Chains A and B, each alone.
Chain A
Amino acid sequence: MKRILLQDTNGSLKKELRDFHVAFSSYLRDNNLVDKAQVVLVSDIGVYNKGIVAKVLPEGFIYVNLNSANIAEIVDKTVVKGEKIDALSFEKKNKQMRLVLRNCGIVDPESIEEYIAADGYQGLANALAMGPEKVIEEMKKSGLRGRGGAGFPTWMKWNITRGVKGDEKYIICNGDEGDPGAYMDRSVLEGDPHSVIEGLMIGGFAVGAKHGIFYIRAEYPLAVERIQKAIDVCRSKGIIGQNIFGSGFDFDVEIRLGAGAFVCGEETALIASVEGLRGYPRPRPPFPSVKGVWGKPTVINNVETLANIPYILFKGGAEFGKVGTEGSKGTKVFALTGKVKNSGLVEVPMGTTLREIVFDIGGGVLNNHAIKAIQTGGPSGGMIPSQFFDTAVEYESLQKLGSIMGSGGMIVMDEFDCMIDISKFYLGFCVDESCGKCAPCRIGGTQMLAILKKISEGKGEPEDMVKLNQIAQAMQKASLCGLGQTAANPVLSTMKYFEDEYKAHVIDKKCPSCKCPSLVVYSINKERCTGCSLCARNCPVNAISGDRQSKYTVDTAKCIGCANCYEACKFNAIVRQ
Chain B
Amino acid sequence: MVVETLKDDVKAVIERWKDKEGNLIMILHDIQDRYGYVPREAALEVSRQADMPLARIYEVLTFYNYFKLTPPGKFTISVCLGTACYLKGAPALIEEIRRLLQVDEGHTTKDGLFHLQIVRCLGCCGLAPVITVGHKVYSAVKRTDVMGIIAEHKTVEA
Contact = CB atoms under 8 A, between A and B. Distances in A.
B11 interface: no
A358 B137 CA distance: 27
A278 B60 contact: yes
A338 B23 CA distance: 39
Interface residues of A, number: 55
Interface stretch (B1-9, B108-116, B122-130, B149-157): B122-130
Contacts of A425: 83, 86
A425 B121 CA distance: 13
B99 A540 contact: yes
A181 B121 contact: yes
A390 interface: no
Given A44-B126, A337-B128, A343-B126, A276 B23 contact: yes
Contacts of B139: 11
Given A183-B125, A276-B25, A261 B120 contact: no
Contacts of B64: 258-261, 279
Q: Which of A48, A257, A422 has the most CB of B within 10 A?
A: A257
B25 A343 contact: no
A180 interface: yes
Contact of A344 (B63, B67, B88, B126): B126
A78 to B, nearest CB: 26
B121 A218 contact: no
Nearest to A180: B82
Interface in B70-95: 81-84, 86-88, 92, 95
Contact of A181 (B20, B67, B125): B125
Nearest to B25: A276
Contacts of A183: 121, 123-125
B54 interface: no
Interface in A1-48: 10-12, 44, 48
Contacts of B107: none
Contacts of A435: 63
B24 A276 contact: yes
B60 A177 contact: no
B120 A262 contact: yes
B140 to A, nearest CB: 3
Contact of B25 (A48, A256, A262): A256
A337 B25 contact: no
Contacts of A262: 120
B83 A257 contact: no
Given A338-B84, A413-B87, A273 B25 contact: yes
A564 B122 CA distance: 26
A260 B66 contact: yes
Nearest to B99: A540
A266 interface: no
A339 interface: yes
Contacts of B82: 180-181
A510 interface: no
A343 B128 contact: yes
Given A48-B126, A411-B87, A178 B140 contact: no
B78 to A, nearest CB: 10
Interface in A545-574: 562-564, 567
Does more than half of chain A's interface fall in helix, strand or loop, or is it mixed? loop
B25 A257 contact: yes
Contacts of A261: 63-65
Interface in A177-229: 177-183, 186, 218-220
Contacts of A254: 20
A219 B32 CA distance: 13
Given A10-B140, A278-B59, A337 B119 contact: no
A562 B121 contact: no
A62 B104 CA distance: 44
A343 B124 CA distance: 10
Given A180-B82, A277-B22, A337 B121 contact: no
B65 A259 contact: yes
Contacts of B81: 180
B64 to A, nearest CB: 3
A417 B119 contact: no
Nearest to A11: B140
Q: Which of B64, B81, B92, B127 has the most CB of A within 10 A?
A: B64
A335 interface: yes
A120 interface: no
A281 interface: no
Q: Which of A178, A338, A339 has the most CB of B within 10 A?
A: A338
A409 interface: yes
Contacts of B67: 259-260
A275 interface: yes
A429 interface: yes
A182 B88 CA distance: 15
Contacts of A259: 25, 28-29, 64-67
- Give me the 4 closest cross-chain CB pairs, A-B, nearest first: A11-B140, A259-B64, A260-B66, A260-B65
Interface of A: 10-12, 44, 48, 177-183, 186, 218-220, 254, 256-262, 273-279, 294, 335, 337-339, 343-345, 375, 378, 409, 411, 413, 417, 422, 425-426, 429, 435, 540, 562-564, 567
Interface of B: 20-26, 28-29, 59-60, 63-67, 81-84, 86-88, 92, 95, 99, 119-128, 139-140, 143
12 contacts: A11-B127, A181-B82, A219-B119, A257-B25, A259-B64, A260-B67, A261-B64, A278-B60, A279-B64, A337-B83, A337-B84, A564-B143
Given A180-B86, A183-B123, A343-B84, 9 more contacts: A12-B140, A44-B127, A48-B126, A180-B81, A219-B66, A279-B64, A338-B88, A375-B83, A411-B83
